[in-house]
Amino acid sequence: MPAYSCVSLKAVIVDNDLRIIHQASVVFDTDLPEFRTHGGVVQSRMTPTIATVPTLLWVKSLDILMDRLLVAGVDFSKIAAISGTAQQHGSQHGSVYWQNGADDKLRHLDAGQFLHQQLSTYFSITNSPIWMDSSTTKECRELEESVGGPEELAKITGSRAYERFTGPQIAKIYQTKPELYLNTERISLISSFLCSLFLGKIAPIDVSDGSGMNLMDIKSKTWHQSLLNTVAPDLAGKLGDIVPSYANLGPVCSYFTDRWTFNPECKIIAFTGDNPASLIGMGLTEGWIAVSLGTSDTLFLWLNEPKVVLEGHILCNPLNINSYMALLW
């Protein structure tokens, strides 16, 4: 399972009994100094509310990670399935903007070249906004006002509008860089972006990670068209489908079978955000509460019905499509 945190990309390979067989990691600041990140982030002293990551950094980190796993002696042909997680951090996402033609490029990758060499010109926004960006206060107020206020938005999407959420971030990009938005074929969360590299086509957003974007109706599990219209035109097509967090999306792409000798039958399971992945990894079930003490101290629990909270989030449950999870701090 590969995982993007704010500062690194990590991979853990386990056997049928979930015993760890191999681990490897790439630390962004030290292993990829050419991107000039600090704590894995590019943040200007002049505009500290804006925080981004060069999208190509994530691609190149996967190239390095695969090499390190190979040197460690990993037999990729024995891997039966791949899934992963990426920074969500309190349900606040980073997003990736694929340029027109990117999906076709992913379907025709050359196994003789690194991924970062082939994808360097396929992002319409070269620096991805991430969870630390808080420059979208105006867009948040517009989103809330479009449905009657923060409580109404929380009823629909599980959260009031947050500056770090993908919906307001897309709205800002459309309003400030409309030509780049129009040149965008698809918009991924970092989780579905990482999944796309293994799948060999742009992967759908999973329901749990997608429920933290201020764009999805958490009850119907579909994009809320009125909110999409408020954010930007033709947004549904750029977001694509929503799938269960446990969906089997198909086999690993030929790039990984040809370059790294993966079994062509290796399955790609939908990738999700770090908080839904924490619920999965801890085996959290109804009646239990988990507390996470870290850069953001959070409490999360399983819900059978969504509640309206203004200081926290209600997300769709990654294990049960009809249940929910609460994330509070």
Please give the radius of gyration of the chain, using alpha carbons only, rounded to the nearest integer: 19
- For 82, other C-beta atoms within 10 Å of its C-beta total 22
Residue 118 has pLDDT above 50, yes or no: yes
Tokens of 236: 């549904």
d(CA 253, CA 274): 24
d(CA 5, CA 204): 20
Residue 55 has pLDDT above 60, yes or no: yes
Rounded to two decimals, what is the model's pTM? 0.94
Tokens of 203: 């992967």
In the block, residue with structure tokens 């999944």: 195
Paired sense of beta strands 242-243 and 205-206, if any: parallel
Q: Angle at which helices 166-176 and 137-147 pack, to 10 degrees?
A: 110
Residue 5 has pLDDT above 90, yes or no: no
d(CA 312, CA 310): 6
Domains by residue range for the chain, with CATH: 2-328 (3.30.420.40)
Q: Tell me what pLDDT residue 92 has.
A: 53
> Residue 188 is which amino acid?
S
Residue 283 has pLDDT above 90, yes or no: no
- When pLDDT is averaged across residues 72-87 and rounded to a whole number, the result is 95
Q: Angle at which helices 190-199 and 55-71 pack, to 10 degrees?
A: 50
- When pLDDT is averaged across residues 98-124 and rounded to a whole number, the result is 98
Q: What digits encode the pLDDT tens for the residues 132-185?
A: 888 899 999 999 999 999 999 999 999 999 988 999 999 999 999 999 999 999
d(CA 207, CA 257): 28
d(CA 167, CA 164): 9
315: nearest Cα among 138, 139, 88, 137: 88
Q: In whole numbers, what is the pLDDT of the chain averaged over residues?
A: 93
**How many residues can be counted in the chain?**
329
16: nearest Cα among 77, 70, 76, 79: 79
CA 104 to chain centre: 21
83 three-state secondary structure: coil
Task: Kindly state the helix (H) or strand (E) to which residue 275 belongs, with its residue range.
Answer: helix 274-282
